[in-house]
């Protein structure tokens, strides 16, 4: 028994010393982090709204000083509009009349999409990684509902949807809209179009290191109508029958008034 106690007494300090980690062993460098903030949390749409600029401030934490010095960190900032189903229709000429011949509906796509980056996103990472994270106008997931056609037709509708959104000013990109103002602080500018949809939007920031995705951060941004625009919107949604009848009556009265004023005696 006495020998056993002596052996245990000798082993306990040895076991304790074995728990001490050598420098660089058993520990891992803390991963880079990302923090963002916006110049405003709410955009008010009035009758004279012509669009606006949104500024996003951010910071990259726990950076590698060497990689930071040689510009291996990139940031992409995106403002996504409310998500909803979107239908694209193809017109064809039948007997001299243009009619909607076919259509395709994409599920849960952002109504608007504005993006800024520290450089062209194709220079930041690979198209496969962009598609995996759904970053960029050309990489937004467009999943058709009840699709039964061929792949070429699907690509045509996807291309048409993106073109329509860009022509309407709802999808925009700025490959130099993100600028580092210090070693790890950045500033991003996003353009909000005049026809930006009402609702809760999402600001997203993505951090890349040496072409590899590291992390992302997001926060909401409310876009609301104010004044008479908000009143009309509320009536249209809450009392659609009354709103429709009033719109028809107003159109009739306007047409009758114009014909009365400009009639020739």
**Domain containing 40 — which CATH number?**
2.60.40.1930
The reported pLDDT for the residue numbered 230 is: 58
In a domain, 246, yes or no: no
Q: Which domain holds residue 180?
A: 29-228
In a domain, 41, yes or no: yes
In a domain, 245, yes or no: no
Pairwise CA distance, residues 190 & 127, whole Å: 23
Residues 6 or more apart whose Cβ sits within 8 Å of residue 180: 118, 186
Per-residue pLDDT of the chain (265 residues; tens, 9 = 90+): 444 344 334 434 444 443 443 343 434 457 899 999 998 888 888 877 888 889 999 999 999 989 988 889 999 999 999 999 999 988 777 777 777 778 889 999 999 999 999 999 999 999 999 999 999 999 999 999 877 666 778 899 999 999 999 999 999 999 999 999 988 899 999 988 888 988 999 999 999 999 999 999 999 999 987 766 556 666 666 777 877 887 788 788 787 777 767 766 5
In a domain, 23, yes or no: no
DSSP letter for 202, please.
E
Domain count, the chain: 1
* pTM > 0.85: yes or no: no
In a domain, 21, yes or no: no
In a domain, 183, yes or no: yes
In a domain, 258, yes or no: no
Mark residue 146 as left, alpha or beta (left: phi above 0; alpha: psi -120 to 50; beta: remaining): left
Pair type for strands 212-225 and 42-45: parallel
């Amino acid at each position: 028994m006495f020998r056993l106690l002596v052996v245990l007494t000798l082993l306990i300090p040895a076991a304790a010393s074995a728990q001490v980690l050598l420098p660089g062993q058993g520990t891992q460098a803390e991963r880079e982090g990302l923090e963002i903030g916006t110049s405003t949390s709410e955009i008010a749409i009035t009758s004279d709204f012509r669009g606006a600029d949104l500024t996003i401030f951010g910071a990259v934490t726990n950076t590698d000083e060497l990689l930071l010095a040689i510009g291996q960190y990139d940031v992409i900032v995106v403002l996504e509009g409310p998500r909803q189903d979107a239908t694209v229709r193809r017109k064809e000429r039948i007997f001299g009349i243009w009619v909607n011949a076919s259509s395709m509906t994409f599920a849960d796509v952002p109504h608007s999409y504005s993006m800024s980056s520290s450089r062209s996103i194709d220079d930041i990472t690979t198209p496969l990684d962009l598609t995996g994270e759904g970053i960029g106008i050309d990489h937004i997931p467009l999943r058709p509902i009840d699709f039964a056609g061929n792949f070429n037709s699907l690509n045509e509708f996807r291309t048409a949807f993106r073109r329509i959104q860009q022509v309407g000013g709802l999808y925009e990109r700025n490959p130099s809209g993100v600028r580092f103002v210090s070693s790890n602080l950045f500033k991003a500018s996003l353009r909000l179009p005049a026809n930006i949809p009402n609702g809760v939007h999402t600001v997203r920031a993505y951090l890349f290191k040496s072409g590899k995705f590291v992390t992302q951060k997001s926060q909401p941004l409310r876009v609301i109508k104010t004044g008479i625009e908000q009143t009309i919107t509320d009536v249209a949604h809450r009392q659609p029958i009354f709103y429709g009848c009033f719109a028809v009556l107003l159109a009739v009265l306007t047409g009758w008034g114009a014909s009365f004023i400009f009639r020739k005696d």
